[in-house]
Chains A and B, each alone.
Chain A
């Protein structure tokens, strides 16, 4: 009887292990399904013309995504400009002041901001930028995206700088280096890899964001470099074309999805490489 019980338990143990392995792989199966379909349908549409042409009206062949590519690039640049300086500075403050009312409040606000749905941020950007400016613009889209980037930049800066050993800071101060130079020239460079990876990571997140752009950047069928006018973006284009009834537009959407996914994956890879090669070991 003792022996039977043990064998049941051992069987249960093995079965459980198999069950877990099975479920885990089933869980990532959709990933392969999604990627597979994007590659299968998208790769047929992607060629050089596709990347450098402008979208064409319905019924005309040869439409491309050049303005969406440029638009996404400009939007990412814009949101970096707004969120990186502010985010790093706030992150430095938080890493230097572990306690205190403002620190507590700021950390709370960063958490809140991180959880806000992107569509709500889109509403806010519309109220704050589009209405007063009386025009849709890449600028307002950049503002919306930067609000989404901020929390990630702040948190990664704070976490990275916290890891820098205090000894470094104290040694610099003991040598008479002024506080701001200590931070800017000693501590910050030491944590650079972490901060850069945080920025890159948040960029991958916002590259694919559609909701906040729906009523800020608005979209455009022309190539536009003017940030105070509406601009196209990859995710916007995918959304509009995917929900249309035209098969040509569907193929373009698949192609654009392919480009977007490749871009996100490559950016992810670069982030990993940056972290690996640049990480200053303590």
Chain B
């Protein structure tokens, strides 16, 4: 009995010491940056931040909780930076006494992925896509789909829509596109990060949607290109504004952005692009953060590290884009990002120093 008591006490003491150690870490000097938001670029950020840690020893903890989550947590000041594919409006970026800046990090494509036996390659027109997601096209061998896809073997399966259940920038980009090409969609559903979907199943994150599409035959959903490629999913070739059927790829995404006048604050939608061979559902994705970094008692070191990270992301970090099927930023966009990063201040003083 006494021995058992001894062991228990020893265990308790060890536990307390460990706990004390953990508490002391709370006062430790390491800077760790916390980011949250879009699942769209998560494969890229995950690679980037891992490499950043290996190179500079600074931990960047990014959780992909959806663009809506990224914006909310930044507004609540519970994260150092957010990530979103749904850029904020002019009213939204003005907070009580601060200003939210956006810098784009890469370009991606939202693809219409599906799961059908035999993996047929399907061509879609904008009207067909809208009607599928409005629930008006119910079967895969609907005459309208067959008309655009002569010779393709389409089964009589039900079309089951998969959409996002969380607040998603990918949803924003997709619905932004649908609102542009379908008046009915614009009126009935509109564009936003979380929608009142007319039909379909919901899943969390690009991950969840990919997971469901992979598992359930007959499904049709929208995901970011990288997820579709990583999971060997088939996706559609879509007719763009100029009438060409475009396959989503780094090239067609780049073409979608080229020639569009990017404003200096970089917040712009490039869906339904005029570019002749541009992919119609392309988008930038942004990192968002406060302009005045001296808020809520933040340390200057955090601001310095954040600015260093942002600079790295739009320069050295860009080398991770192409292997993961994201399009790196065009040069003119990088320049605009640089001026934005240089405008970050800490208690009025510019943070960037090089």
Contacts and interface: CB of A to CB of B under 8 A. Distances in A.
Interface string B66-80: 000000000011110
Contact of A243 (B78, B208, B231): B208
A15 B214 CA distance: 46
Given A134-B77, A245-B231, A226 B22 contact: yes
A233 to B, nearest CB: 13
Chain B contact patch, size range = 35 or more
A53 interface: no
Interface of B: 4, 15, 18-19, 21-23, 25-26, 28, 32, 34, 36, 43, 46-47, 50, 53, 59, 61-63, 76-79, 203-205, 207-208, 210-211, 214, 227, 230-231, 296
B207 A244 contact: yes
A221 B23 contact: no
A277 B3 CA distance: 13
A11 interface: no
Nearest to A221: B61
A134 B53 contact: no
Contact of B63 (A56, A226, A230, A243): A230
B59 A243 contact: no
Specify which of B19, B25, B61 lies most central, judged by the most chain A CB atoms within 10 Å of its CB: B61
Contacts of A220: 61, 63
A57 B231 contact: no
A162 interface: no
A134 B43 contact: no
A221 B34 CA distance: 11
Nearest to A228: B26
A219 B46 CA distance: 14
Contacts of B26: 226-228
A227 B43 contact: no
A134 B46 contact: no
Contact of B28 (A78, A131, A226): A226
A17 B208 CA distance: 46
Nearest to A236: B63
A225 B20 CA distance: 11
Contacts of A134: 76-78, 296
Contacts, number: 90
Specify which of A136, A219, A243, A244 lies most central, judged by the most chain B CB atoms within 10 Å of its CB: A244
Contact of A135 (B43, B78, B208): B78
Contacts of B211: 243-245
B61 A230 contact: yes
Nearest to B207: A244
Contacts of B208: 243-244
8 contacts: A59-B43, A78-B19, A134-B77, A135-B34, A136-B34, A243-B205, A244-B210, A246-B231
Interface string A8-31: 000000000000000000000000
B32 A229 contact: yes
A243 B65 CA distance: 13
Contacts of A277: 4
A74 B164 CA distance: 33
Contacts of B207: 240, 243-246
Contacts of A244: 205, 207-208, 210-211
A235 B231 CA distance: 24
A220 B34 CA distance: 9
B46 A57 contact: yes
A125 B74 CA distance: 18
B21 A225 contact: yes
A243 B231 CA distance: 14
A81 interface: yes
Contacts of A226: 22, 25-26, 28, 32
Nearest to B42: A58
A276 B93 CA distance: 62
A263 interface: no
A77 B19 contact: yes
Contacts of B19: 74, 77-78, 81
A195 to B, nearest CB: 13
A57 B51 CA distance: 10
B70 to A, nearest CB: 13
Interface string A192-205: 00000000000000
Given A130-B78, A227-B22, A243 B203 contact: yes
